[in-house]
Structure 1
Amino acid sequence: MTASTDTSPAASSPDPRKDVSPQGRRVTVNLTSRANDALDRAADLTGLSRTDTINRALQVYAYIEEIVNAQGGTLYVREANQTELVQLRFV
C-alpha cells in the first residue's frame, strides 16, 4: 500500500471556512462584471462567503505565481472524465 502526501495550499492549511480572522485588513476593490460573476460562482461552488472566497483565491493565485513564474514550473489540469492533462497558460 502506498501513501500519498497532498502538498496543495488547501491541504496544508486548516479548513478555510473556519479561517476567519477578526484582525484582517479591509481592502476595497472594484470588480469588473466578469470578475464579480466569477466571485459569485466560486462562492456558490465552495459554500464560502465572498470574503473567504477572495481570501482563498488570493492564496491560490500567489501559489500559482510562485510555481509557474518564480520557479519556472508548469501547471496542468485534468477535467472530470478525461484522461489527458492540459497545460494551463496564464497571459
Structure 2
Amino acid sequence: MSTLPKGAAAQEWQNAGPTRITVNLAPKAAAALDQAVKLTGDTKTDTINRALQIYAYLERVTQDGGALYTRPADGDELERLHFV
C-alpha cells in the first residue's frame, strides 16, 4: 500500500498514463461485464475502469467506518449493502 496521501497518490496515477493488463474473468464476472456494457453502451475497457474506481470508493467508505445502502426501485426501505 502506498504511503502517499490519497491526493498525492491519485495525482501520481493520473500522470502515469494507461497501464495494460491481462485479466482472466470467471464466467459470472464475464457475464456481469457483458451486461454492464449493454446497459451503459460503454466499451469493456471503460466499464472495467469505472467499475474499479467505484469498487475502490466503496471499499474506502466501508474501511473508514461508513455504511452503504440501496433502495430497490419498487421498495420504500433502505437495505444495507455488505461485501464479502
The residue aligned with 1:52 is 46
CA distance in 2, matches of 1:68, 1:43: 27
**Superposition deviation, residue 56 in structure 1:** 0.2
Q: Which amino acid aligns with 2:35?
A: R
The residue aligned with 2:79 is 86
Moved over 6 A (4+): none
Please list every run of 5 or more consecutive structure 2 residues that lacks an aligned counterpart in the other structure: 1-16
Query: How many residue pairs were aligned?
Result: 68
- Per-residue deviation, residues 30-84 of structure 1 (Å, max 9, x unmatched): 0001100000001111110000000000000000000012x11100000112110
User: As a proportion of its length, which structure holds more helix?
Assistant: 2
Which of these residues, 49, 60, 69, is aligned with residue 76 of structure 1? 69
Please list every run of 5 or more consecutive structure 1 residues that lacks an aligned counterpart in the other structure: 1-22
**Superposition deviation, residue 26 in structure 1:** 0.5
Q: TM-score, normalised by structure 1?
A: 0.72
Share of identical aligned residues, percent? 54
- Higher relative contact order by CA 8 Å / sep ≥ 6: 1 or 2? 1
Q: Which amino acid aligns with 1:61?
A: Y
Q: TM-score, normalised by structure 2?
A: 0.78
